[in-house]
Amino acid sequence: MIERVEIVTAADGRRLEVFIGGAESGPLVISHGGTPSSGHTFGPNLDAARERGLRHVAYARPGYGESDRHEGRAVADCAADTAAIADYLGAERFHTLGGSGGGPHALACAALLPERVISAASIAGAVPREAEGLDWYAGMGDENLEEFGLAEEGAAALQPLLERETAKMLDSRPEEVADALGGLVSEVDRAALDGELAEHFASTFPHAVKHGVFGWLDDDLAFVRPWGFDLSRIESPVTIWHGAHDRFVPFAHGEWLAVHVSGARPRLLADHGHISLTIAHYGDVLDELVGAGK
């Protein structure tokens, strides 16, 4: 499935690189990619949207790909960008989902665009850094412990690490992607990160960082700062997906969201990790989005 690329102008004049796929018409799903992410969607996931008659749109968050950087952005700032994309596409209302680093952004849209978001899904997404009753770092792989620890120190401490990780990823062949991610990859995720999916990661990562690590940097900084919205005020139906073998974003994050997002539908799966969950259940995620909005 080939995506069409458009440039959308945000409310403040920044450029947003938008990837349009799925069905030619039908209900709109706006997807928020992980961290880091080019914005390109894995082909079989686009096929799943097309088969269900859904328009599927993703975008490169500010600083990734051809999207202009928005330095100092908060997670909440994605709502205005998402609204601009929906306006460009002529959609008053839409569904939204986010995987990994995209999860908080999908929740931001649900909280801040209540009249426009029909339903939302967080897939292996994190909770706010200041979440009560949760050890935010417990269960994370060492690589993320280091990355987010440096994020808490600020951009100057974090940027050199991201530049080293970028160089390592750019030098990795598809069959080496899982090894490059180190201890973040559980066995179930290693099994999923093979073949076509590994090719997707290896081929799209260079686009994510073509103008530097700033999208990744600004994502990480935003995650450890206040997000700018209240999860308890979400009114749209939200489904929380998380796998028990997740070393990127520990399972406890999904459990916490399932309790603290008002009316959340938990889909907490014992046999999946961070990567395998999305690959195995993307069609189910889409079905839940549509079903929850009826």
* Complete DSSP assignment for 150-162: HHHH-HHHHHHHH
* 208 contacts: CB under 8 Å, gap ≥ 6: 36, 37, 38, 39, 60, 64, 65, 215, 216
Split at pLDDT 50, 70, 90, the class of 156 is: very high
pLDDT, mean over the chain: 97
Task: Evaluate if residue 294 carries a pLDDT over 90.
Answer: no
Average pLDDT, integer, range 126-137: 97
Split at pLDDT 50, 70, 90, the class of 196 is: very high
pLDDT in tens, 38-53: 999 999 999 999 999 9
Whether the model pTM is above 0.95:
yes
Q: What per-residue confidence (pLDDT) applies to 262?
A: 86
Q: What per-residue confidence (pLDDT) applies to 293?
A: 77
Average pLDDT, integer, range 88-101: 98
Average pLDDT, integer, range 130-148: 97
Beta-sheet strand order (sheet of 94-99)? 4-9, 15-22, 55-59, 28-32, 94-99, 117-123, 238-243, 265-269
pLDDT in tens, 231-284: 998 999 999 999 999 999 999 999 999 999 988 999 999 999 999 999 999 999
Residue 174 preceded by cis peptide, ω within 30? no
Q: Contact at 8 Å (CB) between 99 and 76?
A: no
Q: What per-residue confidence (pLDDT) applies to 43?
A: 96
Q: What per-residue confidence (pLDDT) applies to 1?
A: 61
Query: Which structure tokens are listed for 146?
Result: 């280091």
* 90 contacts: CB under 8 Å, gap ≥ 6: none
Q: Which helix (H) or strand (E) holds 219?
A: helix 214-223
Average pLDDT, integer, range 47-73: 98
Q: Contact at 8 Å (CB) between 157 and 150?
A: yes
Q: What is the second-level CATH architecture of the domain 4-292?
A: 3-Layer(aba) Sandwich (3.40)
